Amino acid sequence: MTGPSLLQRASHVIKDQTDPHTITMNIGRLIRVVPRSRNIEAILIFFVLGLYAFELAQVQLSTIAKLTPEFFMLWAPIAVLSVVFHVVLRFKASEADSLLLPIALALNTLGIAEIYRLDIAKTIAGDTDLFGFKQVIWASVALAIGFLVVWLVPTHLFLRRYVYISMIIGVALLLSPMLPFVGLKINGAQLWISVAGLTFQPGELAKIALTVFFAGYLVTHRDSLAAVGRKVLGIKLPQARDLGPILMIWLASLAILVLQRDLGTSLLYFGLFLVMIYVATGRAIYVVVGLAVFGSGAFLAGRILDYVGGRFDAWLNPFSDLHYKADVNSSYQLVQGLFGMAHGGIWGTGLGGGFPQMVPVAESDFIISSLGEELGLVGLFAILGLYLLLVSRGLRIAFNHTDDFSKLLAIGLSFVIALQTFIVVGGVTRVVPLTGLTTPFLAAGGSSLLANWIIVALLLRISDSLKAESPKVKALA
Amino acid sequence: MSDLALFLVRAAFVVVLWIFIFTIISVVRSDLFGQKIVRKVVKANSPQVLSTPILPPSAGQPATPSVGFAQPESKLNKNAKPAIVPERLLITAGDKAGYQLKLQNRDITIGRAETSDLVIDDEFASTNHARLFKANGVWMVEDLKSTNGTYLDGEKVTAAVALTLGSEVRIGKTAFELQG
């Protein structure tokens, strides 16, 4: 049989119009195909690298009006390593999600371009504290570790064997900034450690360890958390002993708030736990109760502790002289960021066209306001869109997986990126109080890049393991 | 650079950035809503449809899959051979509609049990509901004494019956068929 004739086509067009049943059938059945093709990934990576070159060229042309060799020094390492990452995926995880790598790469390179742009402004002003090349080095290291994780770790399921070890590592990392000598306090928040001149934010790696712990713990205990318990006032309350760990996490997050003086970090870990317990048990009561106790705890802390209260005040009344010119908990940075974004407006000043350097620490905490000024609301929405797509891919991987541990792990890893982005962007745009967390993939800082690329590598690993589900129902590529 | 050139470069960047995002969205879209699939099963009665193009099908006649489903441009259709070996199982109705399962040389168990090859989450399905197996190169369906029965093209399956391409097996709300 060769191609159908025109008559044949005409025949079913007519059929379409006469029989409503056939019309619906003719639309064609939809089939869920997970786009796992590595070729899509390759095309998107080249797109991102082109976009990156465009960004760098735009920055150089609009600030120093010429292209310098720095362009290639910034571009080439990332280009080489992302291609290597792609090749590793082809050989070691050919069924992995094809969108995670390009999206994360797009965010990371946009961050580097903006940091480099701030560097140029600083150099003109005579400042020598530059971050652009450091960020390229860190991004290269993070990409290398990312593909090494994909390469060397055959399956993410080995993590299930180290559930409690993960907990210990996670808690130790969280508490390490409070150690004497190595602990470091920046802007009032004690979130860093400093060893031999290198500063590191251990909380970033702790989020991976704690996600592994939560996933492993909840897989074992979900049944008793979901089903057992007495009914009080029509609500089934969990058993006291099941609640124990939840109370422990709550206390730990409050301890972070009090001891490390950072609302964002404690909100991040507590929120992560709430979401994972909700996904594991399907009971909204945990979320309601959890938010209530966290809210009241944070409120009390704000009332009792000066520095937390001061942050709240600076958030609520940033434009008052009292806070704008204050020495401690000043709202100067926040307000400068807001002015910057207002200057950018909807369309932005273009990369290299604004004055993002006027915001203190614009390259890390306030990279969002820098990008908001130079790319405008249009660009900021594009960035948030990239985060949304990244997180939705993670949730999709979780949704497709049949194994509960993998499901919870993927949910946790992608949600932690979502929540962190919300807390940071919310802090810069004055939706929530400003915190010391970093913007995933964008902000200058090695620990953050490292942790987030490991998260991407783990998600790639998890998505690749879907192919091993055969012969269970799965979409054919 | 002149202001105009800079403005054009900036505008172009925003456009390219959004093109990137929409490229990703289009890939995601094909994941969420699926791609169009094409029926390549040509049933014996399809010429009837061709020979009576103007007449609407009578109401009593079941809507049989016909050549009309095939997209004329489809490559698959051109390559269609007279005798097609079933290669996959396509779920056509129910919660998992659209999913497909690759057929291998081994039995496929169907039911609510999580260990089934094809897990059907359906009130009308039994734990071990039915089984597909290959005998002498022909795929057969067998009901495993299920409560609500298995139906092949509307008829209850009592003993093992051979499956032909495109004939519909129905279990509760779920229906599937074999495709080449």
What is the value of pTM for the model shown?
A: 0.73
Q: Name chain B contacts of A394, Cβ cutoff 8 Å.
A: none
pLDDT at A467: 63
**Cβ atoms A351, B13 nearer than 8 A:** yes
Interface-testing mutation among B27, B39, B101, B122, with chain A (most A C-beta atoms within 10 A): B27
Q: How, if at all, do strands B108-111 and B118-119 pair?
A: parallel
Confidence of residue B65 (pLDDT cuts 50, 70, 90): very low
* Residue A475, min C-alpha distance to chain B (Å): 6
Residues A264, A129: Cα–Cα separation, whole Å:
27
Of A65, A99, A106, the CB nearest to B28: A99
pLDDT tops 60 at residue A84: yes
Of A15, A31, A350, the CB nearest to B10: A350
pLDDT at A474: 40
**Torsion angles phi and psi, residue A144, rounded to 5:** -65, -45
**Cβ atoms A58, A351 nearer than 8 A:** yes
Span A252-260, average pLDDT:
75
Q: Name chain B contacts of A385, Cβ cutoff 8 Å.
A: 21
Span A373-395, average pLDDT:
94
The interface pTM score, or ipTM, of the predicted complex is 0.82
DSSP secondary structure letters along A294-339: HHHHHHHHHHH-HHHHHHHHHHHSTTSHHHHT-SSS-SHHHHHHHH
* Residue B112, min C-alpha distance to chain A (Å): 13
Residues A84, A69: Cα–Cα separation, whole Å:
23
DSSP secondary structure letters along A207-269: HHHHHHHHHHHHHHHHHHHHH--EEETTEEEPPHHHHHHHHHHHHHHHHHHHHT--HHHHHHH
Q: Do B101 and A61 touch (CB under 8 A)?
A: no
pLDDT tops 90 at residue A64: no
pLDDT tops 60 at residue B63: no
Burial class (CB in 10 A: 0-12, 13-18, 19+), A471: middle
pLDDT at A395: 92
Span A352-376, average pLDDT:
89
Name which of A84-93, A284-293, B18-27 the model is least confident about.
A284-293
Name which of A46-55, B4-13, B112-121 the model is least confident about.
B112-121
Peptide bond into A202 cis (omega under 30): no
Q: Name chain A contacts of B30, Cβ cutoff 8 Å.
A: 33, 35
Q: Residue A349's closest CA among A369, A372, A382?
A: A372
Q: Do A99 and B97 touch (CB under 8 A)?
A: no
A398-440 pLDDT tens trace: 988 878 899 999 999 999 999 999 999 999 999 988 887 889 9
Span B86-107, average pLDDT:
79
Report the SS3 class of residue B151.
strand
**Cβ atoms A73, A133 nearer than 8 A:** yes
Residues B61, B47: Cα–Cα separation, whole Å:
15
Residues 6+ apart with CB under 8 A from B56: A15, A18, A19
Question: In degrees, to the nearest 5, what angle opens at C-alpha A428 toward C-alphas A425 and A431?
Answer: 75
Residues B51, A117: Cα–Cα separation, whole Å:
70
pLDDT tops 50 at residue A24: no
pLDDT tops 70 at residue A22: no
A109: which 2 tokens?
């390179």
Q: How many CB pairs under 8 A join A and B?
A: 173
Confidence of residue B54 (pLDDT cuts 50, 70, 90): very low
> What string of H, E and C letters represents the secondary structure of A393-460?
HHHHHHHHCCCHHHHHHHHHHHHHHHHHHHHHHHHHCCCCCCCCCCCCCCCCCHHHHHHHHHHHHHHH
* Residue B148, min C-alpha distance to chain A (Å): 22
A2–B contact, CB cutoff 8 A: yes
Residue of B nearest to A348 (CA): B10
pLDDT tops 80 at residue A210: yes
Q: Do A389 and B10 touch (CB under 8 A)?
A: no
Q: Name chain B contacts of A26, Cβ cutoff 8 Å.
A: 68-69
Q: Name chain A contacts of B100, Cβ cutoff 8 Å.
A: 31, 473, 475-476
Query: How far is CA B135 from its chain centroid?
Result: 23
Residues A323, A315: Cα–Cα separation, whole Å:
9
